[in-house]
Chain A
Amino acid sequence: MGNHKNEAYSRLGMWLFLLSEILLFGGLFILYSVYRFQNAQIFHLAAEALNRPIGTINTIVLLTSSLTMALSIYFLKMEKPRRSLFFLFSTVALGVLFLINKSVEWSIKFHHGVYPNAPRLLERERGEILFYGLYYSMTGLHALHVLVGIGILSGVGLWMMRGRIHHKHVLPLENSGLYWHLVDIIWVFLFPLFYLIT
């Protein structure tokens, strides 16, 4: 069985997997839209309290990481493995930076007593409880995906260093790149929904 044919399977399999990921988040997006429709005014006010600078920085960080990911694939195809590896680990570093930012943002909120089931949150209006419930669920699930992505990219990086992924066998890098871009795209939707529409 030719390597070429194997690659076709893996690519199709990866796209199908990404499709199921989209539906996983899709459930949350449905909940978000219904609750936003029911509590438009409160969501509007609650969103103003989110830390927009940190959100913006994280958007820039994640978009840049998608660029470095694409560059990594490009340079591996150009038979420049060292440069490819550099950009791959830049992507990992940016992913870590994203998570650090996120945890800073979350801990500020926690510090203000805004976390799930917090007594001070429960005193507020129901729409606001829902807003933060969705905020923590959606950004939390997304952060979990970033974490998994960091793990996958690091593993692929180790494989590249051992020479198991090279310019004739780019597919594992490409497939993990696809996953990373998906994680990025989901953030592109989360960012305006939570931080910008106020």
Chain B
Amino acid sequence: MSSFYEERGRFKGIFGWIFSTDHKRIGLLYLLAILSFYAVGVFLGFLMRLELIAPGPTFMRPQTYNALFTLHGVIMIFLFVIPGIPAIFGNFFLPIQIGAKDVAFPRINLLSWWIYMAGAALAILSLFTGGGPIDTGWTFYVPYSLRTPVNVSLAVLGVFILGFSSILTGINFVTTTHQLRAPGMTWFRLPLFVWGIYATAWIQILVTPVVGITLLLTLMERLVGVGIFDPAKGGDPLLYQHLFWIYSHPAVYIMILPAMGIISEIIPVFARRTIFGYKAIAFSSLAIAIVGSFVWGHHMFVSGQSDLASVIFSLLTFLVAVPSGVKVFNWVSTLYKGSIEVAPPLLFSLTFIFLFSIGGLTGLFQGALATDVHLHDTYWVVGHFHYVIFGGTAFAIFGALHYWFPKMFGRMYHKKIPYLAWALLFVGFNTLYFPMLLLGWEGMPRRYFDYLPQFHTLQFVSTVGSWILIAGLILMFGNLIHALFKGQKAEDNPWGGATLEWQISSPPPTENFYEIPRVERGPYEYSK
């Protein structure tokens, strides 16, 4: 029984990894790259919080701060959360969960990783070339991004190239889900993680090209001055915002849908109970993907779009909360009368539900036209999306890491330490981000280097929160890294899961299954 780690391919050593077409190795390549970028993003966030510990300049100049919040955003959004779950866990587990040996296009899968690295390299190169690090914010809004002397062109090109990687991954996953399901693996026997990845893959295919063309035009604007977005030449900056958010709002669902898939995997396993409302959860993923593609205008309530448009976008925004609510109710119902074991993966999943609910509910304030005028571009927004993206997606990633770690690496981590790390993360997270909601409510604008004295207390508390949070991250990842080298050998099915990845050895063999399995039951039917 040899695992995929021992496989002898055409190449040796590191080349056996970076030229491997094995979906598991590619997943781990992404894991390494994405978590490294995450560490950089966290460090930049830490520096920003440190600067804001007191009013006035503390230890950096305003322009440095502008570069920091832009880089923090670009790295976290484009290099961490958007690719995050599909590229790491989707690659590793989607084929196994549907009973396949690999994805439909293994070579294109490897190419996607290379393209991802190339795009990331260009984005990083933009820091040290041209006019220096970008200061536009991660949204690259025109006309400022056309005028600023810093190296926007290269950064935009980098993000454009990252989009290619995303599209190819999406095409791969849709094709894999359609064509490579094992005999008996009907659509309604698919694990809900697969449904989440599948809905996400469609969004990746359909909306990423729109931001691609938008960024390409921005690049052309800077290089040759075509004038399409330049108000001095008759262009309309509002159209840039429309096209940008046509992608970037659905991108929020690229971040959250696979996270919801992970939660739907973990909860039934640790409640020892089949999932409540399987079809409702599966279809709500598709509903979120579809409705979520038509709500982008809620980013532009104060940008000067027509009132009619704002009213429609506001209505649709409230509608998209419905399928999200459906999921939350189904998770909670699954727990009801279950025999719950609060193991680390479940702990992170429950935290996901709690923090994501706060993120979702604070979002409704912004979705309402009148309150948004007050809240737009304040710390409220910053607090809200960190609750959704960090409290949601990142906590789901932590849950997934603890859930699938024994399967991916064949070793088990120390089971007590995650509880301590969780406590630090939970306290640190809320101390860091809840004051932001209050600050925003009181009118503190986002992206500001300095602030009025009345905001000092909350800013200070928030900065202290960032230290606690980082202590939690270090403890959690330290424990996992330690387990990677020194952990005890993991069992094949330590949690008693019923999906296919738990029916094979840990770590999985080279082509996952010695024989393609025949599936005869649903993914959450536990033997009595």
Interface membership of B337, Cβ < 8 A: no
**Quick check: which of A5-13, A66-74, A104-112, A155-163 contacts chain B, the rest being far away?**
A5-13
- Name B228's contact: one of A10, A31, A122 (CB within 8 Å): A31
Contact in complex: A137, B234 (CB < 8 Å): no
CB distance from A15 to the nearest CB of B (A): 9
Contact in complex: A129, B234 (CB < 8 Å): yes
> Which residues of B have CB within 8 Å of A16?
170-171, 174-175, 205
User: B residues 225-263 with Cβ under 8 Å of A?
Assistant: 225-228, 233-236, 239, 242-243, 246
On whether A136 and B226 interact (CB within 8 A), knowing A130-B234, A130-B235, the answer reads yes
CB distance from A20 to the nearest CB of B (A): 5
Closest to B220 in A: A137
How many of chain A's residues touch chain B, expressed as a range? 35 or more
- Name A12's contact: one of B175, B207, B208, B220 (CB within 8 Å): B175
Residues of B at the A interface (CB closer than 8 Å) are 104-105, 108, 167, 170-172, 174-175, 178-180, 205-210, 212-214, 216-217, 220, 224-228, 233-236, 239, 242-243, 246
Q: How many A-B residue pairs have CB under 8 A?
A: 101
Give complex CA distance A130, B227 in Å.
Answer: 6
Contact in complex: A23, B105 (CB < 8 Å): no
Contact in complex: A24, B209 (CB < 8 Å): yes
CB distance from A32 to the nearest CB of B (A): 10
CB distance from A59 to the nearest CB of B (A): 23
Closest to A125 in B: B234
Instruction: Decide if the interface of chain B is mainly helix, strand, loop or mixed.
Output: helix
CB distance from B296 to the nearest CB of A (A): 12
Closest to B214 in A: A27
Pick the most buried of A21, A25, A38, A130: most chain B CB atoms within 10 A of its CB: A130
- Name B233's contact: one of A13, A24, A27, A129 (CB within 8 Å): A129
Give complex CA distance A23, B213 in Å.
Answer: 9
On whether A8 and B179 interact (CB within 8 A), knowing A17-B171, A19-B205, the answer reads yes
Contact in complex: A134, B207 (CB < 8 Å): no
Contact in complex: A23, B227 (CB < 8 Å): no
Contact in complex: A5, B179 (CB < 8 Å): yes
> What would 26 A/B residue contacts be, using CB atoms closer than 8 Å?
A9-B104, A9-B175, A9-B179, A10-B105, A12-B178, A12-B179, A16-B171, A16-B205, A20-B205, A25-B213, A26-B209, A26-B210, A26-B213, A27-B214, A27-B246, A28-B213, A30-B239, A30-B243, A31-B228, A34-B239, A35-B236, A39-B234, A117-B227, A129-B233, A130-B228, A134-B228
Pick the most buried of B172, B180, B208, B213: most chain A CB atoms within 10 A of its CB: B213
Contact in complex: B209, A137 (CB < 8 Å): no
> Which residues of B have CB within 8 Å of A125?
234
User: A residues 135-194 with Cβ under 8 Å of B?
Assistant: 136-137, 141
Interface membership of A113, Cβ < 8 A: no
Interface membership of A82, Cβ < 8 A: no
Pick the most buried of B167, B170, B226: most chain A CB atoms within 10 A of its CB: B226
Contact in complex: A23, B207 (CB < 8 Å): yes
